[in-house]
Structure 1
Amino acid sequence: MSTRTRRQWIVDSVVFGLAVVFGLWLAVGRMRWWPSPEPAWLLDLDQVAGALGCAALWFRRRWPVPLAAALIALSSFSELVGGAAMVALFTVAVLRPPRVTALLFAGGLVAAFTYQELRPEPDAPASLMLLFGLVVQGAVVGWGLAIHHRRKLVVSLRERAVRATREEIAREMHDVLGHRLSLLSVHAGALEFRPDAPADEIARAAKVIRESSHQALQDLREVLGVLRAPVGDRPQPGIGDLDALLEESRQAGMRVELRRHLRGEPPDTLGRTAYRIVQESLTNARKHAPGAAVEVTVDGGPENGLTVEVTNSAAGRSSGSGQGLAGLTERAAIVGGRLTYGPEAAGEWRVSAWLPWPP
């Protein structure tokens, strides 16, 4: 059963038609305009070979290399199979590795030389005919290789896009779920270490755990929805959502202070990157420096870029140095910025990022 698409049927029909027209033109020329002194049986054999070669082109997608090799071999004595042989050689150049094309191209040159030895043209120098064959085959192979490399480039770009999408999904899920799960850990830990807490505190912590779990699932749905939908179809968090983010951390017992000095509203991509930097930094502070005071500074404008700093006061404590901070560094680099992190001389831990702000 045929697996050709409609476009392939059209292309194959056009290619077959061109090969037939080329063969008929040569056959008519031999009979009318430049008669050959060769015996009639050789001309009949040439026509049979040409007809079979044209018909074989319908199988060029299934067996490109064997078909090209067979037609090139026939072209060593058959003039009318030349058009079909060039089509088969072009197909190999498009569908197979260049080294296979090079071998068949070399075979085509040998066939052209053999043809000149077996059936030389009395009115044309052999060197001129060989040069003509070299030019034609070179053009066919060059065209086919150009299409081959273009297709490889398209596939490579698609794979790169898929890889980038997967990395974006991983970053978004890490940032969103890491923040929510760290809140759950804080409240669950409080219940574990204070089993004798008053009933109203236990109820309040249980409520926060339930709400955070529900919000984590909701955030996950939104992240996957944003990544599946066209850009701009769904809102994503930005600078304006920092207050709500910090309030969640305060409800979990963190001491967080926000210093915001913005001269204008940053673009959506810039605001989303700044939000994720703050979110991941708060998550790390909750995990690695519980109880430390955290200061968040967001400052800048179109003239000097956006600076985001998150500092905690836990002397000698690390606020994480694994995949989360590595992901933040990649986020900053994607928008043309930079991010550094590490302990300060005073014992604080600081995450500092600078992001370009387009005018």
Structure 2
Amino acid sequence: MDGAGLASRRGVREWLVDTALFLAAVAFGLLTAAARVELGPPVRPGWLFDVDQLIGALGCAALWLRRRWPVALALVLIALSVFAEMSGGAMLAALFTVAVHRSQRTTMILFALGIAASFGFVLLRPDPDVPGYVLVLFSLAMQGAVVGWGRVIHHRRQLVVSLRDRAARAEAEAHLRAEQAQHRAREDIAREMHDVLGHRLSLLSVHAGALEYRPDAPAEDVARAAAVIRDSAHHALQDLREVIGVLRAPVGELPQPTLADMPQLVTESRQAGMRVVLRQEVTGSVPDRLGRTAYRIVQEGLTNARKHAWGTEVTVTISGAPEDGLTVEVGNGPRTPPASGAAPGQGLIGLAERVALAEGRLEHGPTEAGGWRLATWLPWPP
């Protein structure tokens, strides 16, 4: 910050500090003058005493400019203190200002010049009653105390500014982390809604389509399809309520399936008319998070097969062990008749994100026989 900026923003506290330093410099000059008149030897020639007082008064008045030109004012007052002892108080105040507002290097240079000025004063105006080294030591002690006090204030202000900056950065980082956490939570909920509701609604769509295109179906088939539609709608509504409940209450998680719920998932697809073969060869107790990821992979695979390859046989293979990881494959045969042309959704994108979060690998694409294969490998957490 430049001197003009310091002076233009002088507040009540700054006015009080400036007034106190001005009065202290005046008091220093008056005490020096009184001591010279009453105790000290007469100043020769006599006019020098008058000049000394005038310079001291001008130096004290110049302190009101110390915030605007601290270094220049300190240099002038140091030079004047070589022969004008009553400007010493103003010189100390200017040196204090430099120590507070300027760098260590600038402060030390002016401090050295101030000590040199003390030697110059002893040489130009020696006191027969006081040894010269005593005056130099006294000046060193006074200037050292002033500079030390100023540097303490300087570093304290820097510390306060640093703490404020650190607090501001910490607040900004906390806000950013909160936004990122909120974004991740939204992505997680979006994936869950897609996986859960997409599966339920696809079952509903299949049976509703069957009723539409088979109005002459036997009453038992119609009743069975209606029951599946009712159950699927009921489960979809329950899942939606659970998601909304999590959105309303920030504490808690969605009820999550595990690998033990896989047979129920396959059974629901079979009830919808799909031909699904489930093969499980898993050794060890599968952690809940790993089982949940595997469940969502199979769920997405069955939903895609129901949408794009209806009527084909779907094979679900789950195998693994703690030392090998978990492998999940969902594959179907060639589509006959050809696919209905349903537009691909966001399922595979969300599935890729889910697998990436689990630090696994995802592969999907057509097979040589004309079918489709979805394969993932997931690490087994310790």
TM-score, scaled to structure 1: 0.66
Match of residue 378 from structure 2: 355
Q: 5+ unaligned residues in a row in structure 2: which ranges?
A: 1-11, 30-55, 79-89, 104-150
1:262–1:298: 8 Å Cα contact kept in structure 2?
yes
Which of 322, 346, 349 matches 1:323? Answer: 346
Q: Do the aligned partners of 2:71 and 2:98 also contact (CA within 8 Å) in 1?
A: no
Cα distance in 2 between the residues matched to 1:263 and 1:306: 10
**Which residue of the other structure, out of 330, 334, 357, is the alignment partner of 1:334?**
357
Count residues with an aligned counterpart.
Answer: 277
Which of 300, 309, 316 aligns to 2:320? It is 300
Please identify, of 335-344 and 277-286, the stretch whose mean Cα deviation from structure 2 is larger.
335-344
Q: Secondary structure at the match of 2:91?
A: coil
Q: Which has the larger displacement, 332-341 or 125-134? A: 125-134
Residue identity in the other structure for 1:330: E
Task: Map 1:141-290 to 2 at 5 A.
Answer: 141-225=161-245, 228=249, 230-231=251-252, 235-290=255-310
8 A contact 2:294–2:328 mirrored in 1:
yes
Instruction: Report if the CA contact (8 A) 1:182-1:283 is conserved.
Output: yes
- 2:368 partner amino acid: A
- Which amino acid in 2 is paired with 1:275? Y
- 1:56 is aligned to none
Counterparts of 1:76 and 1:187 in 2: how far apart (Å)? 90
Candidates 291, 315, 318, aligned match of 2:311 = 291
User: Displacement, 1:205?
Assistant: 1.6
Distance 1:355 1:320 in 2: 28
Match of 1:122 in 2: 91
Letter in 2 for 1:323: Q
CA contact (8 A) 1:180 1:213 kept: yes
Deviations 1:230-274 (A, max 9, x none): 456x64211000111100100111000111011112111111111
Cα contact 2:74–2:91 (8 A) shared by 1: no
Shift of the 25–259 alpha-carbon distance from structure 1 to 2, 3 Å rule, reads same
Is the 1:76–1:114 Cα contact (8 Å) retained in structure 2?
no
Give, in whole Å, the separation in 2 of the partners of 1:329 and 1:113.
65
Following TM superposition, by how much is the alpha carbon of 1:336 offset from its aligned partner in structure 2, in angstroms? 1.5
Structure (1 or 2) with the larger CA radius of gyration: 2
* Contact 1:285/1:319 (8 A) holds in 2: no
Q: Tell me if structure 2 keeps the 8 A contact 1:257–1:295.
A: yes
Q: How big is each residue's C-alpha offset from its partner over 1:300-335, in whole Å with a ceiling of 9 and x where there is no partner?
A: 121111111100112586997541011001001112
Query: In structure 2, what residue type is equivalent to 1:296?
Result: V
Indicate which of 337, 346, 354 corresponds to 2:369.
Answer: 346
What's 2:139 paired with?
none
5+ residue gaps in structure 1?
Answer: 1-18, 47-74, 79-109
Residue 188 of structure 1 contacts residue 209 of structure 1 at CA under 8 Å; is this kept in 2? yes
User: Identity over the aligned pairs, expressed in percent?
Assistant: 49
Deviation at 1:179, TM superposition (A): 0.4
Distance 2:176 2:239 in 1: 32
Q: Structure 2 length normalisation: TM-score?
A: 0.62
Letter in structure 1 aligned against 2:314? V
Q: Which amino acid aligns with 2:346?
A: Q
RMSD (Å), alpha carbons: 3.6
Distance 1:242 1:144 in 2: 54
- Judged with a 3 Å threshold, the aligned counterparts in structure 2 of structure 1 residues 119 and 208 are, in CA distance, closer, same or farther, namely farther
Match of 2:147 in 1: none
Which SS does the other structure have where 1:122 is aligned? helix
d(CA) in 2 for partners of 1:113 and 1:248?
85
